[in-house]
Amino acid sequence: MMHTAADVERIAYFGRNSVLLSNEKVRAIVDDLGGMMPEFSLKKGKGAVNAHWIPDFRGNSGLPWSSHEHGQYWKANILYILAGDFPCSPNFGPDCTVDGVGLPAHGWTANERWNLASSGAIQDGNAAYAKFTLESPDVRMPLSYTKYDVVQAGKPAYYSAMTIENHGDAPVSINLARHNTLGSPFLQAGCRIYVSAERCMTAPKGTEFDDTGRLAQGAEFDSLLKAPGRDGKPVDLSIVPGMIGYTDFVTGAIPAHKALGWSCVVNPVLKLAYVTFFPGPRGLPNDEIALGFNDLWMQYGGRNFTPWALHEGGADRTFCLGTENAVGAFANGLAYSRAHPELLGTPTMVTIPAKSARTLNYGTALVELEDALAAEAITDIEAEGDMLVLKTARTYQRVSLDASFSGLRELVSRLLK
């Protein structure tokens, strides 16, 4: 009989304090520092295929960030600790000042050290979890974060339930994102990208992509197959081109009629799909958050400065793809979102009411595809009960996942008692 129990283990990973969540299908690593997830891998033979990006410039000396020691090369703490998937809040984008509070790039959740409050396997090994907590370092923005990272037995996925509580007497409007970032060996030239968004827009002028991009700036379009290029020619963003010497960013609004938001990257050679999925706007419980945007950060070269290049003016050697999902205006930061509260008809902030809390439920899966699904374009992904259904124009594939998040909600409710 196959052993299917989910398990959790405290480990040292690249010299960092981390948690390993695993079952017979997948491994997921969560660092205390920044909530970084450098590994989400599908077990293969005696090894595993990691889908998450681990930058070759990641600081792995074990030394804490020092602006004096590391600032010239890495530029910012987050680039020193960066990896894989991580939560971004209350800021999504570059550092900025809001309500008199200085916010680091991608917020406290991506920079501060989370406290591992508890962990364990429960329900007779049917699930394993790690509970992390983080308090606002500035009383002027009195937020606290509680995050449950979970794997369930037999499911090729990890889940996260993150609750944001506002302890203050006034509502606070913030950014919130999951920064899923793919790298080798999963990410290769020829991978295909699909999103649930139907209206998209390129990053406007005045961002970090001004000097790195090939796309027209601030332009709206309705298909990844035909994004506007700066040379006036359409660009097919649905195919990962490999290292081409450009880095671009596009955002897409998730339609209000969607009960499930999602993004998907298919490696047709490995016959694997990396799928992010989360509750959509339709039918959302009042105390939960729906992420409003699919964001694509296409890091295919173009940043000829450190740490992306080995020296200032050198060639960018960094190849990765961000399939980020967010409540934010592009990735321009909370101050920009405060000035632009709506984009493509969708709010760029989530408001946490005074003395109240809101929760984001989120899932990420590595799906082994049937031949037809690996060969054809994904047209939609839906939840059918607790099954995740990947659809093409001609066929579909059901995957046994907690697509309704009922299992995650029940688990967190049980742990709270």
Each residue of 213-230: pLDDT tens digit?
Answer: 999 999 999 999 999 999
| Residue 128 tokens, joined | 């394993």
Does residue 399 form part of some domain? no
Tell me if 270 is assigned to some domain. Answer: yes
Bridge-based pairing of strands 199-202 and 346-347 is unpaired
pLDDT tens readout for residues 179-195: 999 999 999 999 999 99
| 88 φ, ψ (degrees, to nearest 5) | -115, 120
How many domains is the chain built from? 1
The alpha-carbon radius of gyration of the chain (Å, integer) is 20
What is the Cα–Cα distance from 231 to 236, expressed in whole angstroms?
14
The average pLDDT across 304-310 equals: 97
Res 15 pLDDT > 90: no
Residue 125's pLDDT band, with cuts at 50, 70 and 90, is: confident
Assign 47 a pLDDT band (cuts: 50, 70, 90): very high
Residue 398, in any domain of the structure: no
Q: Is residue 387 part of a domain?
A: no
Residue 268 included in any domain? yes
The answer to whether position 403 is within a domain reads no
The pLDDT, as a whole number, for residue 4 is 60
The rounded distance, in Å, linking the Cα atoms of 245 and 312 is: 15
Question: Residue 53 maps to which CATH number?
Answer: 2.70.98.10
- Please give the mean pLDDT across all residues of the chain: 96
d(CA 103, CA 99): 10
On whether residue 300 sits in a domain, the answer given is yes
Band of pLDDT at residue 94, cut at 50, 70 and 90: very high
> How far apart, in Å, are the Cα atoms of 222 and each of 204, 205, 228, 279, 298?
16, 20, 10, 22, 18
pLDDT of residue 1 exceeding 60, the answer is no
Q: Residue 3 pLDDT more than 80?
A: no
Q: Please indicate, yes or no, if residue 116 is contained in any of the structural domains.
A: yes
- State the residue range of the domain holding 343: 7-368+408-416
- The rounded Cα 121 to chain-centroid distance in angstroms is 25
Percent residues over pLDDT 90 in the chain: 96
- Amino acid identity for residue 289 in this structure: I
Q: How confident is the model at residue 273 (pLDDT cuts 50, 70, 90)?
A: very high
Say whether pLDDT at 7 is over 80. Answer: yes
Run of H or E residues at 80: helix 77-81
Contact (CB, 8 A) for 270 and 49? yes
Half-sphere exposure of 370 (CA within 13 A, CB side): 12
Which tokens hold the place of 148?
Answer: 């449950």
Name which of 51-65, 224-238, 317-331, 349-363 the model is least confident about: 51-65
Q: Residue 354 pLDDT more than 60?
A: yes
CA distances from residue 294 to 12, 210, 306 in whole angstroms, order as listed: 32, 21, 27
Q: How far apart are CA 380 and CA 195, in angstroms?
A: 8
> Would you state the pLDDT for residue 124?
84
Say how far apart CA 146 and CA 202 lie, in whole Å.
33
- Give the pLDDT band (50/70/90) at residue 26: very high
